[in-house]
Structure 1
C-alpha cells in the first residue's frame, strides 16, 4: 500500500517499511551537512547563502507514514544563523546548483490559487533558530505524497510562503501507492 523512495539521494538514509506504526507503515530518516554547489565533497544538502546556512551546518529530515497514508514530517537543523526566522517547505524536485531547480512547493491539492498556498495543503516547517543556530519543526497531515512529486526540503530566508531560497536538501520521501 505504501512504498518507495526516490533513488540517488547523496545522504545516509535509514528506512523501515512495515515498522513502528502497523503493517504497511513507512518511516525514513536522513541527514547531511550543507555544502556549496560544486564543493569537492558533494552533499545532498546545498547552501546558497553561507551567512544564513553555513557550510557544514546540519539537517535531518524524518518521515513517518501510516498504512492509511497519514504523514508526519519532522526536520531538525544545527549551525544556522542564530535568531533568524526561516521558512521551510517540501518541494517537488531534487536540489541542484540552481536554487530554482527544486521546483515549487509540493501541494496535496495542486493549484495556482492563493488560497491553496498554506500549511494545510503544503508541508511547512517554519522555525526560528535558537542562540546556537538550532531549530526544529514538525508537520502532520492526513494525506501522503504522490509518487515522484516530493523530492526535497527547501530552506527560505523568511517564514511563510515567500522568501529567497538559501538551502536545499534532497530527501528520499516515501509515497502512498
Structure 2
C-alpha cells in the first residue's frame, strides 16, 4: 500500500470519527495497524489520552493508520476537534500511552541513537523516525502522512504523540517539538 493508498484509506475513516469511542482492536503487526480514539483525561487502559486539555480538548478525536508497503511503512494521522489554526508536532514513539506523556518513551528510531535523548540530526530525522507534523484548519481538523523505507519488525512501536510545536531539525535540537500534549496508543 503506497502513500496515496494509505491516505485514501485514512480518508475513509473520517466518517467513523463521528462515532469514535475506545480504540478498535488493532490487527497483528504483519497487517495494517489502525487506532481510532476520542481523547480523554488519563484513565488506565485509555488509548487516546490528553495531557493538556487546553491544547487537545477532551472529546477531540484522532485516527492512526500504519501500513506495511514493499519493505517500507506508511503512517497516516487524522485529527478532529483540536484548536483551529494551530501547529502540532507528531511522532511515532516506542511505548503505549500512560499517565504522563513521558510514559510513551522516546521516538521510535529505525537505527537507534546510542545517546538518549536523541537530538543528533543523523538519528533524529524523518528518514529514521516517523514525523507526522500538522497544522489544523479553521475547524481544528488536519491530516498528515509519512512514509519510510523500513518496517517495525520485531521492535514494534507503541504510540503516536502530539507535541506543542512542529519538529525542530538543527543540531542539538533535532527531533524536539516541545511538550507532549496527547497520545494515541497504536499496536504497530
Normalising by structure 2, what TM-score? 0.76
Query: 1:80: Cα distance to partner?
Result: 0.4
Query: 1:15: Cα distance to partner?
Result: 3.6
Please tell me whether the aligned partners of residues 69 and 143 of structure 1 are also in contact (alpha carbons under 8 angstroms). yes
Write out per-residue CA displacement over residues 95-117 of structure 1, whole angstroms, 9 at most, x where no aligned residue: 10121010000001111360211
> What's the counterpart of residue 72 of structure 2?
70
CA distance in 1, matches of 2:125, 2:26: 29
Please tell me whether the aligned partners of residues 13 and 31 of structure 1 are also in contact (alpha carbons under 8 angstroms). no
CA distance in 2, matches of 1:136, 1:13: 22
CA distance in 1, matches of 2:161, 2:26: 21
Runs of 4+ in 1 over 4 A off after TM superposition: none
Aligned length: 154
SS at match of 2:187: coil
Q: Check if 1:123 corresponds to 2:119.
A: no
CA distance in 2, matches of 1:171, 1:71: 14
> What's the counterpart of residue 21 of structure 1?
none
Superposition CA RMSD, Å: 1.9
CA distance in 1, matches of 2:57, 2:134: 17
SS at match of 2:42: coil
Match of residue 24, structure 2, among 12, 15, 20:
12
Q: Check if 1:165 corresponds to 2:180.
A: yes
CA distance in 2, matches of 1:98, 1:51: 16
> What's the counterpart of residue 101 of structure 1?
103
Q: Check if 1:29 corresponds to 2:44.
A: no
Q: More helix by proportion, 1 or 2?
A: 2
Please tell me whether the aligned partners of residues 26 and 187 of structure 2 are also in contact (alpha carbons under 8 angstroms). no
CA distance in 1, matches of 2:87, 2:152: 26
Q: Which runs of 5+ in 1 are unaligned?
A: 1-9, 18-24
> What's the counterpart of residue 87 of structure 2?
85
